[in-house]
Amino acid sequence: MRVLMLGAPGSGKGTHGARVAARHGVPHVSTGELLREQIAAGSELGRIAQPYMERGDLVPDHLILSMVVDRLMNPVPAAGYVLDGFPRTLPQAKAAYEVALAAGLTLDAVVCLEIGHDELIRRLSRRGRVDDTTETIVHRIDVYEAQTLPLLDYYDGRGILHRIDALGAVDEVTARVLNALDRVAAERA
Ligand code: AMP
């Protein structure tokens, strides 16, 4: 099962992505986490990415693409994966689709966690990551709306988009996500 978790910062992509990955026995691949590891390791990619991340801007597409291809193509996780935070722009999505199509590895499902503006700001203000300051939070939500929301139409057009209400108890939202994916798996079987 190859799944993409989409949603604004604070929508719970990381939490639910990890749970879906555990349930399906596949790796949870978070580009935000991979980038934070690069920063912690002091790599060149980390040094380049850090200022973008601190501002709440997106890291340039070509850097992200080579990092993800590196993580997912050699070797390819045989049972699939849960992608969290990539693709985040239309150029990333189109480039990833080209590579995936050639390799027979296109996505089975895209889960979009939907949640209102005020709730996002409330959640992010409590989280306390270095890029979770008030101005950065508002900016990251703007960036999400401008650059990532267009992906919804793109994946809907491919017939693989599942919109999930992300408001409610964490376990309840996880159950909604897992149910949607069980239906996808049943349709494929
Ligand atoms: P996240 O942990 O998913 O919220 O990502 C944290 C930060 O990493 C984002 O605000 C971006 O600066 C950067 N980032 C993560 N994934 C991507 C991506 N696919 N494209 C560009 N920047 C990304």
d(CA 125, CA 133): 7
Backbone φ and ψ for 9, nearest 5 degrees, come out as: -55, 130
Residue 29 has pLDDT above 80, yes or no: yes
Ligand 1 atom nearest the C-alpha of 86 is 19
Ligand 1: residue of 47, 52, 59, 132 to mutate (most ligand atoms within 8 A of CB) is 59
**Is the shortest distance between the CB of 141 and ligand 1 below 6 Å?**
no
**Is the shortest distance between the CB of 53 and ligand 1 below 6 Å?**
yes
Q: 157 with 108: CB under 8 angstroms?
A: no
Local structure of residue 30 (DSSP, 8 states):
E
Percent of the chain with pLDDT over 70: 100
Measured in angstroms, how far is the CA atom of residue 21 from the centroid of ligand 1?
19
Q: What is the pTM of this model?
A: 0.94
Please tell me the predicted confidence (pLDDT) of residue 130.
78
Residue 135 has pLDDT above 90, yes or no: no
CATH classification for the domain delimited by 2-183, as one of 1.10.10.10, 3.30.2320.50, 3.10.20.30, 3.40.50.300: 3.40.50.300
Nearest residue (by CA) to ligand 1, atom 1, is 32
Domain segments of the chain: what residues?
2-183
**Is the shortest distance between the CB of 4 and ligand 1 below 6 Å?**
no
